[in-house]
Amino acid sequence: MTSLLEVSDLRVTHRGSPIVDGVDFKLDRGEALGLAGESGCGKTTTALALMKLLPPALTQSGSMTLRPEGAEEPINLGRRTEAGMQLVRWRHISLVFQGAMNSLDPVQRIDAQMAEAIRLHSDQKGGKEVGRKISDLFKTVGLPVSAARRYPHELSGGQRQRVMIALALCCDPSLVIADEPTTALDVVMQAQVLQLLERLRESLGLALILISHDLGVLGETCDRIAIMYAGRIVETGPVRSVFDDPQHPYTKLLLDSLPVIGGERGLAPPIPGAPPDPGSPPEGCRFRPRCPYAKDECLADPPLREVAKGQSAACHFAPWKKWPDPRAAAAAGKKA
Ligand code: SF4
């Protein structure tokens, strides 16, 4: 089966400094891929590069090929001009931005904002037809149709996020990218929005790229996960395999830093240090200054390679059969 989206060697630079540095991944139809990592690791920049919505100061390169259902030939996103991308955005790929309140126009009623998107990006132009589509979308995302006549400030945070999801679906895209769609919501709303995304994915056959720093959210929703660090994917694979048997020290420490329900009371161990400045990454493995398992070999850059079935990691010592205690490993490393 050919993939819906194939991304190869995606790079984004700012004045020559890499922000996203050679990202590759594939996404099948109806599949959900989670992009995880600390703030500043390149998750949102990757999403904006896919939509070619980066600010002018950033430059992107690499190949991005989309094969939407019914399209006569693959769409080479990398080569598309701005006019060409306007035929792709919303119709084939749409984006649910972070923070619904900042993304909706505060002085326009919601139905007017949705009608504009539908008229501009789909073949539906008539008033009745567009009105029917908006009502259907509101029902799909579990909002009362009457809410369409409201202004954004008249809705709760959870309702606004549902409006953002309805907007993303208004031209029946094959792929929705959701960037931290639940960050500003309380846990109840968070669960409802995630359930909604999951339900829509199943009923509409949507492919989903879900961006979050919250591994719990991605574990609940995604089929596969890609862990990003300093502009690169350092581990990727099926969610279950990566969660049960991580093969990169960064993934292992991220998972160890999650609180355990029913475990001993106390703070989960944080990962020491901070991600490097993408403009001047450390020599060799980018995780080396924070990695408790670093050795001399790590002064060479480790490639991302398959280390178990369907699971790849960029670490010289993967596959890890057994994880040494990180504190003992770090102490031994310092002595050496
Ligand atoms: Fe740590 Fe070395 Fe593996 Fe990098 S290559 S993650 S520094 S053990």
| Atom nearest to 286 CA in ligand 1 | 4
Low-confidence stretches of the chain (pLDDT beneath 70): 1, 100-101, 184, 333-336
Query: What's the predicted TM-score (pTM) here?
Result: 0.90
Q: Give 225 Cα–ligand 1 centroid separation in angstroms.
A: 20
Buried b (16+ CB within 10 A) or exposed e, 157-168: bbbbbbbbbbbb
Q: Which atom of ligand 1 is nearest to the CA of 293?
A: 8
CATH label, 5-222, candidates 3.40.640.10, 1.10.3720.10, 3.40.50.2300, 3.40.50.300: 3.40.50.300
Q: Give, in degrees to the nearest 5, the angle at Cα 308 between 302 and 310.
A: 100
Tens-digit pLDDT profile for residues 26-56: 999 999 999 999 888 999 999 999 999 999 9
In angstroms, the Cα distances linking 266 to 187, 211, 252 are 21, 28, 19
Beta bridge partners of residue 179, listed in sequence order: 211
Top mutation candidate among 232, 296, 298 for ligand 1, by most atoms within 8 Å of CB: 298
> Domain residues of the chain, as ranges?
5-222, 245-261+268-335
Say how far residue 213 (Cα) sits from the centre of its chain: 9
Q: What is the chain's mean pLDDT, rounded? A: 89
Q: Render pLDDT for 110-160 as a digit per residue (tens, 0 to 9).
A: 999 999 988 888 777 777 889 999 998 998 888 899 999 999 999 988 888
pLDDT at 267: 74
- Both structure tokens of 322: 């057994």
The Å distance, Cα 294 to ligand 1 centre, comes to 5
Per-residue pLDDT, 4: 95
Q: How far is the CA of 34 from the centre of ligand 1 (A)?
A: 23
Please work out whether the CB of residue 316 comes within 6 Å of at least one atom of ligand 1: yes
3-state class (DSSP) for residue 103: helix
- Put residue 272 in one of left, alpha, beta given phi > 0 → left and psi -120 to 50 → alpha: beta
Write down the residue that tokens 């309140």 correspond to. Answer: 101
Question: Ligand 1 centroid vs 284 CA: distance in angstroms?
Answer: 9
